Amino acid sequence: MDKVEFSAFSKRELGKLAKTFTLMGDDAVDESKKVAFDISILAKDEIRDAGYARTKAAPAVRRVVDGVSVSRTSKTGRLSYGFAGQRFSGGATTQILWRGLEFGSRRFKQFPVWSGRYGVRGSAGYFIFPTLRKIQPQLTLKYLQAMNKVVQNWSKSG
């Protein structure tokens, strides 16, 4: 299965953040997981609203956005879409269909028209990735503010 990564931080910054987590105490790590979960819920709600606004293949898009999984154990926040257990009546699953619903297709008419290119690689998308790009500055700011508090509390107690 393809892995999709979307991050406001570079790989180097994420590596430094992971190293910091190994140095922190359990309380600080637990607090960072709570912060990441809260921010992931905010992103999930924004994506759900964008998905519900779609008109092409609306019932299938709603199944995809309603079936999101939010990780409680991630320290940086993680959303997962598309699972084999979420079946449609024809036998398809959200695991198979979410990519076509998000990015469209030139070949298969059950999906919206291909969303076009975004950047050097990849497609623009319709509801997940455009929403993440739109709210990325807000999510990054909230995460950094909350993590600054965690680090301050950790440095006082550590």
Q: Is 92 part of a structural domain of the chain?
A: yes
Confidence (pLDDT) at 5: 43
Catalogue the E-assigned strands of the chain.
Answer: 69-70, 79-80
Q: Is 119 part of a structural domain of the chain?
A: yes
Rounded to whole angstroms, the Cα distance separating 140 from 42 reads: 12
Q: Is 62 part of a structural domain of the chain?
A: yes
Whose tokens are 């009546």? That residue is 89
Q: Which has more pLDDT, 121 or 3?
A: 121
Q: Is 126 part of a structural domain of the chain?
A: yes
Q: Is 12 part of a structural domain of the chain?
A: no
Q: Is 144 part of a structural domain of the chain?
A: yes
Q: Compute the CA torsion angle 33, 35, 40, 42 (nearest 10 deg).
A: 160
Tell me the per-residue pLDDT of 99-125, one tens digit each, with 9 for 90 and over: 999 999 999 988 999 999 988 888 899
Strands 79-80 and 69-70: antiparallel
Total tally of structural domains belonging to the chain = 1
Q: Which has more pLDDT, 4 or 158?
A: 158
71: phi then psi, degrees, rounded to nearest 5: -75, 130
User: Tokens in use for 107?
Assistant: 């070949």
Write out the residue range of the structural domain in which residue 43 sits: 24-157
Whether residue 1 has pLDDT greater than 50? no
Q: Is 108 part of a structural domain of the chain?
A: yes
Confidence (pLDDT) at 12: 81
Tell me the per-residue pLDDT of 123-133, one tens digit each, with 9 for 90 and over: 899 999 999 99
Q: Is 83 part of a structural domain of the chain?
A: yes
Amino acid type, 102: E
